[in-house]
Amino acid sequence: MGTDRYQYNFDERILSPGEKEIVRVVFTIPLNEWRFHDFCLKHDIVCYLPLRKVIRCKRQTYGSKDYQYQNVVLRPMFPSYAFVKLLPEQCTEIFRSNSLVRILGDQDQLSEQLLHDIRLVHQIETIAMTEEVEFNADIKEGGKFLIESGPWQGVYGWLQKKRKKSLWTVEIECLNTLVRATIDPTQYKMTPVNYD
């Protein structure tokens, strides 16, 4: 895919839109996230493409011996999704990238929930660079908690015990997906959340 040259970076400008600027989730053509990201950088549009580390294995045979190489590469965290901050007149410009399918959400309204979800995605992205995180988990079950310390500070989620492991599931509303990670609940200060 040619994405090994990319570095992990987060543009804080996406979290502080100006008076006329809008922040939106965009849906790209599959496997075109990097092309869209490059287009936005080239046209001075703030784009945030959440990344995660993936181990890429490559096997080669020389003579009668097999060799296996492993590389750590960056891949999009949520395939076909990215976040952009742009002016309303730039909405038509980003379609010229030939990588975009649609812009999700209402054009006229900036949602505080969307900005909260972007902060949450960035927090998960930071954790995913060092720990194993499972994406698109199907089930959220167990008690709902708010973590008040550590790298998950300020995040609501569900805690579930499974095979002597504690799984922490977080919902990202704007992408309609769940993220699951293994945590040690004794290392965090957690407050139960009531459903009243």
pLDDT band at 2 (very low <50, low <70, confident <90, very high): very low
**Mapping DSSP to helix (H, G, I), strand (E, B) and coil, where does residue 120 land?**
helix
145: pLDDT strictly greater than 90: no
User: Which residue from 25, 122, 34 is spatially nearest to 81, judged by alpha carbons?
Assistant: 25
pLDDT band at 141 (very low <50, low <70, confident <90, very high): low
**Domain parsing of the chain, residue ranges:** 1-109, 131-196
**Mapping DSSP to helix (H, G, I), strand (E, B) and coil, where does residue 77 land?**
coil
List of residues 6+ apart from 22 with CB closer than 8 A: 85, 86, 87, 88, 107, 110
pLDDT at 35: 92
Q: Position of tokens 């038509």?
A: 92
53: pLDDT strictly greater than 80: yes
Sign of torsion over alpha carbons 99, 79, 25, 126: negative
User: Which residue from 40, 12, 17 is spatially nearest to 111, judged by alpha carbons?
Assistant: 17
Whether the Cβ atoms of residue 129 and residue 184 lie closer than 8 Å to each other: no
Domain 1-109 is found in CATH 3.30.70 = yes
Q: Which CATH number fits domain 131-196: 1.10.10, 3.40.50, 3.10.530, 2.30.30?
A: 2.30.30
Each residue of 54-90: pLDDT tens digit?
888 888 888 888 888 888 888 888 888 999 998 888 8
Q: Same CATH fold, 131-196 and 1-109?
A: no
Whole-angstrom Cα distance, residue 33 to residue 51? 11
- Percent helix, strand, coil in the chain, to 5, is 25, 40, 35
Q: Considering the entire predicted model, what is its pTM?
A: 0.78
Each residue of 3-37: pLDDT tens digit?
455 566 788 888 888 888 888 899 999 989 999 99
